[in-house]
Structure 1
Amino acid sequence: MNDLIEKHPLQPFLPGNARLLMLGSFPPPRARWSMDFYYPNLQNDMWRLYGVLFFGDKDYFLEKGKKSFDKDRIIAFLNEKGIALFDTAMEIIRHKGNASDQFLEVVTPVDLKRVLAQIPACRAIVTTGQKATDTLLEQIDAVSPRVGGYSEFVHEGRPMRLYRMPSSSRAYPKPLEEKAADYRVMFHDLDML
């Protein structure tokens, strides 16, 4: 058992025009990274989901040779669309040496108030797994949405939506196309697609 506390290795990605804040749980171990950014594991389908939804190509965000994701292309896209990224845990204990949420213990959750203060145009948060959703719900007064759905809440006078999307991990047993269908509804709701 590994009882060392890990601190979040990335700064929040908060474009000034962000209308959507995407929150995962915590990055995988660095040995699994293909780039120095969010959702870095090639076995994670987040950037394939975005490729399918916005460009009709699941490989759109892969580097030539397909050994890593193209961080610069991803960042340019996120800036253009107004999508912020961070995680719900700032410090964790990883009880097994993998990225599985079921073996992550959240020691210090994200300071949501501080993050949202930096993106005043944000009107929606999306969590990408149950651990992220549960951790976030400890800070907001919202009902836990069903997977693929949303609930409404108010944060410091700001009306917001909390979307709960399927995990982009391949461990989550749902085909890429079905996951993309849930994300498509959210992006249409938010007039981003």
Structure 2
Amino acid sequence: MTPDFSNLPLERHPFPPFIPSNAKVLIMGTFPPKPIRWSMEFYYPNKTNDFWKVMGIIFYNDVDHFRLPDGTFDEALIRNFLEEKGIALHDTGAAIRRLKDNASDKFLEIVEPVNLGALLEKMPDCHVIATTGEKAASVIAEITASPLPKIGEWVEVVWPADGRLLDMTRMPSTSRAYPLAVEKKAEAYRQLFIKAGLIANP
């Protein structure tokens, strides 16, 4: 018998989409961790997540570029960086249930997926969508009726609302639970930003 999780609380996404006016790349995870894990009220807020370490390595050759002395993140510095580079952030789950009391994608039920069309309407210069993990990638694949890419693979689709060509890829998860060294994660994400034209190909 399939378990009934309908009695579990429904969580709506706590953060608005972060969309710079010059957004060229949209990076999408699944859903933020529970607020007790936050070190800031912004994306990838968990101090143990590698996302901001990866960004620091790629763009500043400094794993701690976005960290404050107490180990938390410098939200103002992060927002300025994203605005400057044209990197938008949001997640693929608009509403979810946690089937276990943690942030693991394996135990997240996506009740309502993101409205991808509404996001893309606000970023006409965006032609690259990157997901940070398998569950996020599967949501975007379903929305766009495209194949689920393997890590590092690219899929092209034409977005029917405006005819734009979207290049979509799946990146390794930046969760500490994902067994890959932060330097290896950074190398994977570096290829994303090279393809998107945000950094030069060395």
Q: Indicate whether 1:33 and 2:35 are aligned.
A: no
Q: Structure 2 regions of 5+ residues with no counterpart? A: none
Q: How much does 1:65 deviate?
A: 2.5
Aligned-pair CA distance for 1:100: 0.2
Out of 28, 48, 62, the residue aligned to residue 57 of structure 1 is 62
Unaligned segments of structure 1, at least 5 residues = none
Return 143-152 or 85-94, whichever deviates more. Answer: 143-152
- List per-residue Cα deviations over 1:58-82 (Å, max 9, x = no partner): 000001232x100000000000000
Matches within 5 A, 1:114-153: 114-153=118-157
Tell me, yes or no, if structure 1 residue 104 matches structure 2 residue 108. yes
The counterpart of 2:191, out of the listed 185, 188, 191, is 185
Which of 161, 169, 177 is the matching residue for 2:167? 161
* CA-to-aligned-CA distance 1:150-178 (integer Å, 9 cap, x gap): 11111120001001100000111111111
CA distance in 2, matches of 1:138, 1:161: 15
Q: Where do 4+ consecutive residues of structure 1 move more than 4 Å?
A: none
Does the 8 A contact of 1:141 with 1:154 survive in 2? no
Match of 1:3 among 2, 8, 14: 8
* TM-score normalized by the length of structure 1: 0.97
Q: 1:43 aligns with which of 48, 59, 64?
A: 48
Aligned residues: 192
Deviation (angstroms), 1:45: 0.3
Q: Superposition RMSD on alpha carbons, in Å? A: 1.1
Task: Find out whether 1:173 has 2:179 as its counterpart.
Answer: yes
The whole-number CA distance in structure 2 between the counterparts of 1:39 and 1:149 is 23
Q: Which deviates further from its counterpart, 103-112 or 148-157?
A: 148-157
Q: Render the CA deviation track for 1:25-49: whole Å, top value 9, x for unaligned.
A: 0000000000010000001000000
TM-score when normalising by structure 2: 0.93
**Greater Rg, structure 1 or structure 2?**
2
Secondary structure of the structure 1 residue equivalent to 2:143: coil
